Chains A and B, each alone.
Chain A
């Protein structure tokens, strides 16, 4: 296999990408942020379960809820996606592992962006 890199630079590329600590740390930071958010959301969910269209929109579109709900969804999906990466790393390897991790991240971004835009659409009218 032809490789234009020097032996040193090739060896460097084989080492740790030094991302492990960042991943671990972000999992903890998002966990702490989620403590109040999940408590708030669980209470809201119980009070809202079965809410009709108008009630749900009035709730989602109120200023404080817009902020907290956006945070809950974005931080929750981010934390969950970090966690699922570890799960895939434990049970799969090779191409499947790479595919599942990337797929998980795509899904998280897709639903996160969709939810944020939906919240803005409800709150700002449209």
Chain B
């Protein structure tokens, strides 16, 4: 269909060019990070249990944590935690009845994304200085 005679009505989303609205992406991210944090909670419990066992077992467990893969997991955990935390606060505001307008939801969404990125970068920078 040429641009000239394209009808003046909404066309249904085209599968190949359809992009999820930003609000939908954030909603999925809240679920994804919640699942990731649940796995992270099991990992944290495992770390504590290793610390309660013998030094050799603990050292083996830690050798993964300080590897490149372990660093990526740590970075992913930090971002997940900060995103889910800030977005969770956004959820709580909705539950209390605030911020339902699409414009407000979009603005608070961008604030959450920015805050999560800044907090992740900042904690990473602090970690590097302490190392």
Q: Which residue numbers of A lie inside 8 Å of B, CB to CB?
A: 28, 31-32, 34-35, 38-39, 42-43, 45-47, 49-53, 56-57, 60, 69, 72-73, 76-77, 80-81, 83-84, 87, 107, 111-112, 114-115, 117-119, 121-122
The chain A residue with its CB closest to the CB of B52 is A118
The chain A residue with its CB closest to the CB of B71 is A49
Q: Which residue numbers of B lie inside 8 Å of A, CB to CB?
A: 31, 34-35, 37-38, 41-42, 44-49, 51-52, 55, 58-59, 62, 65-66, 74, 77-78, 81-82, 85, 88-89, 91-92, 95, 119, 123-124, 126-127, 130-131
Cβ-defined contact, B88 with A31, below 8 A: yes
* A39 neighbours in B (Cβ, 8 Å): 85
**CA–CA, A36 to B130, complex, Å?**
22
* B48 neighbours in A (Cβ, 8 Å): 60, 69, 73, 115, 118-119, 122
* B119 neighbours in A (Cβ, 8 Å): 42
Cβ-defined contact, A111 with B65, below 8 A: no
Cβ-defined contact, A28 with B92, below 8 A: yes
Cβ-defined contact, B38 with A111, below 8 A: no
* B55 neighbours in A (Cβ, 8 Å): 53
